[in-house]
Amino acid sequence: MLEIKNISKTFNAGTINEKRALKNVSLTLNDGDFVTVIGGNGAGKSTLLNAICGTWRVDEGEIIIDGKDVTLTAEHKRAKYLGRVFQDPMMGTAADMEIQENLALAKRRGKKRGLGWGISKNEREEYRELLATLGLGLEDRMTSKVGLLSGGQRQAVTLLMAAMAEPKLLLLDEHTAALDPKTAEKVLEITEEIVNKNHLTTLMITHNMRDAIKHGNRLIMMHEGRVIVDVCGEEKKNLTVEDLLEMFNRASGKEFASDRAMLS
């Protein structure tokens, strides 16, 4: 479903702030994989996701989604293969637009936007049912501006949007990091439901090791722009946080240095 071949990215090349964010990263995701990504600050997790999305072009390597080489494809064109949820709940939805309008925007991802109505009557009914599955009561607030919702509600709506229009790949960039623990748990629950219901191939960045172990069928750990651990199947299921720390120390030759990750 996703093939990343040897990609590299350096920011501010040739300056004092030069940062080699990705170093020859290769990664292949099979159809239906749910991969969790962990790593300390600056490990290259978000950079990897942005490379897949096409926020900028990679310096080297190839990115292939569903058999199509998208290495040079513009971000908005790539979007038709991708469902994205950002870390910042404000970033995934248009605050000044209605809930139903946001969903309608997502439904048209990858399609031509012409002079037909931005949202049709049939769609409203469809969205009402879709929103009802969240169990947050949003189905009765379809014409409310998204800006009036809480962070957790906005992430839930963004998840629904990301899963619309049949994406090949769902990309979650620490999408629960800005939420309180209870809301984060609820949003993760919704994530599981949506991923299972739509059989989505998923890449989820998290700073929470327990979440990384609990969710998905495969786990990768990044460090200094490289993938240093890649486990799946039974081995992944039986992991503990201690195992992960041990693996990190062995693979990187350093102590795991992110307090945020360790304490979670």
Partner 1 sequence: MEHLFGALPGAVSLGLIWGIMAIGVYITFKILAISDLTVDGSICTGAAVCTMLMTAGVDPWVSMLCATLAGGLCGLVTGLLHTVLDIPAILAGILTQLALWSINLKIMGQANRPLSARNFPVIITQMKTEEAIFTLVLIAGAIIGLLYWFFGTELGCSIRATGCNINMSRAQGINTELNKVLGLMISNGLVALSGALLAQYQGFADVNMGRGAIVIGLAAIVIGETAFAKIARNFAVRLCGVLLGGVIYYVVYQVIVFLGIDTDLLKMLSAVVVAIFLGVPNLKKKYFSKVSKKRAKEAGENA
Chain residues in the site for partner 1 (CB under 8 A): 53, 75-77, 79-80, 82, 84, 86, 90-97, 101, 104-106, 108-111, 113-119, 161
Cβ at position 160, least distance to partner 1 in Å: 12
Closest CB to partner 1 among 88 and 185?
88
Closest CB to partner 1 among 60 and 126?
126
Is 231 in contact with 219 (CB distance < 8 Å)? yes
Sheet holding 34-39, edge to edge: 82-85, 169-173, 201-205, 34-39, 218-223, 226-232
Closest CB to partner 1 among 28 and 120?
120
- Largest Cα span, the chain: 59
Is 107 in contact with 54 (CB distance < 8 Å)? no
* 133: CB partners within 8 A, 6+ apart: 193
Q: How far apart are CA 152 and CA 166, in angstroms?
A: 23
Closest CB to partner 1 among 41 and 143?
143
Cβ at position 140, least distance to partner 1 in Å: 18
Cβ at position 197, least distance to partner 1 in Å: 20
Is 141 in contact with 156 (CB distance < 8 Å)? no
Cβ at position 253, least distance to partner 1 in Å: 37
Closest CB to partner 1 among 165 and 247?
165
Cβ at position 58, least distance to partner 1 in Å: 17
